[in-house]
C-alpha cells in the first residue's frame, strides 16, 4: 500500500522559481501546496489537512515576509504548522536573518543560488524521514 504522499508547502514570490520547485517536488513524489504571500499560505493551510514540510523564501509578496510566517507558525493554536520542519531557501543570508530564523526554530537555511533543487529536496526527505 502506497503511503500517502508528504505535503510540502512552498512559499515563494517568484513565479518561475515557484513553478520549478513545484515540478521538482512533484517529481520527487511530494504533494505541493504553493503560496506567494503569507496570507495565501494561511488560507491554504486552512483548507489542507496537514503539511509535512515547509519550503520558505524570505522575501514574499505582500507586507509580511518569511520571518513573520515562521513566527505565526510557531504560535500556539497553529497546530497545523507549529511542529513542521521549515526549510528556508533564500538568496539573502545575512547573519541576523539566519540567526532569527534559526532561533524561531527553522530547520535549515539554504542560499538558493548555491544549491540544486535536488540537494535541497534530499535534505527535506532526510528530515521528514527522521
Binding flag, residue 78, another protein (CB under 8 A): no
Provide DSSP, the chain.
-PPPPPEEEEE-S-HHHHHHHHHHHHHTT-EEEEESBHHHHHHHHHHSS--SEEEE-SS-BSS--HHHHHHHHTSTT-TTTTTS-EEEEES---HHHHHHHHHTT-SEEEEGGGS-HHHHHHHHHHHHH-
- Shortest distance, CB of residue 15 to another protein, whole angstroms? 10
Site for another protein in 24-63 (CB under 8 A): 24, 27, 58-59
Binding flag, residue 84, another protein (CB under 8 A): no
Residues that bind another protein (CB under 8 A): 14, 16-17, 20-21, 23-24, 27, 58-59, 90-95, 111-114, 116-118
Amino acid at each position: 500500500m502506497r503511503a500517502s504522499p508528504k505535503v510540502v508547502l512552498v512559499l515563494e514570490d517568484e513565479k518561475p522559481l515557484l513553478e520549478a520547485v513545484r515540478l521538482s517536488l512533484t517529481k520527487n513524489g511530494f504533494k505541493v501546496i504553493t503560496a506567494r504571500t503569507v496570507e495565501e499560505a494561511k488560507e491554504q493551510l486552512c483548507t489542507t489537512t496537514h503539511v509535512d514540510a515547509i519550503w520558505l523564501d524570505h522575501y514574499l509578496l505582500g507586507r509580511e515576509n518569511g520571518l513573520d510566517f515562521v513566527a505565526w507558525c510557531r504560535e500556539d493554536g497553529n497546530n497545523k504548522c507549529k511542529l513542521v520542519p521549515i526549510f528556508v531557501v533564500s538568496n539573502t543570508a545575512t547573519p541576523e536573518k539566519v540567526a532569527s530564523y534559526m532561533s524561531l526554530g527553522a530547520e535549515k537555511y539554504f542560499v538558493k543560488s548555491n544549491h540544486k533543487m535536488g540537494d535541497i529536496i534530499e535534505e527535506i526527505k532526510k528530515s521528514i524521514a527522521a
